[in-house]
Chains A and B, each alone.
Chain A
Amino acid sequence: AQTVTQSQPEMSVQEAETVTLSCTYDTSESDYYLFWYKQPPSRQMILVIRQEAYKQQNATENRFSVNFQKAAKSFSLKISDSQLGDAAMYFCAYRRYGNKLVFGAGTILRVKS
């Protein structure tokens, strides 16, 4: 079975600085999708960024980028120029085509002003 591991229960970053959230996963499949979701205090799950496993190029969405290392099964999220609104719980997730999402335990990100 696929598993997703987020080894950082909590992280802190100073406003305007950069932070990296770690995620590793375990799968025997070669074709799959990886996601980072943000969950603010409102509890709404917001898609931050997604990566297709067949793509070598790392996905980027404005201040958010990933470092996808397929061989190492690593999928970290980098947040640049951190803002107060970035404070939230972040979940890394894995999905095979048509199947359910498998979530990591989450990382609480605190942003200090």
Chain B
Amino acid sequence: GAVVSQHPSWVICKSGTSVKIECRSLDFQATTMFWYRQFPKQSLMLMATSNEGSKATYEQGVEKDKFLINHASLTLSTLTVTSAHPEDSSFYICSAGDSYSGNTIYFGEGSWLTVV
């Protein structure tokens, strides 16, 4: 299947700083990527839909100024957590799909963010 790579896998940052997470589609072009947040033993919560060349669409309750999403190319989307606080500590996963995969969505490896 298609490959989606996410980086970094683990990141620790100080409270008040910003951290960027990258999501790349390695062998296909992704016009749309999705960013999720997951708490322990819970389902994935969609944060936003990232569209190449346009603004992201955020889900209700997600602060767009805090979670900046950029989709500058067909293979790269980034999530920047700005002015991070300990409550932002979580597991973040990106995903993408293409028409050739028959609408199957493939996921990155995920990123653990710890804010201290």
Q: Is the CB of A91 within 8 A of B32?
A: no
Could you say which residues of chain A place their CB within 8 Å of the CB of B46?
100-101
Could you say which residues of chain A place their CB within 8 Å of the CB of B34?
100-101
Most chain-B CB neighbours within 10 Å: which of A44, A45, A50, A52? A45
Could you say which residues of chain A place their CB within 8 Å of the CB of B110?
43-45
A45-B93, A45-B95, A47-B1 known; A104 vs B107 contact (CB < 8 Å): no
Query: Majority SS of interface residues in chain B?
Result: strand
Closest to A6 in B: B43
A48 to B44 Cα, complex, angstroms:
17
Q: CB of B91 within 8 A of chain A?
A: yes
Q: Is the CB of B104 within 8 A of A104?
A: no
Could you say which residues of chain A place their CB within 8 Å of the CB of B1?
47
Interface size class of A (residues with CB under 8 A): 20 to 34
A105 to B44 Cα, complex, angstroms:
8
Q: CB of A75 within 8 A of chain B?
A: no
Residues of B within 8 A of A (CB): 1, 32, 34, 38, 41-44, 46, 49, 91, 93, 95, 102-107, 109-110
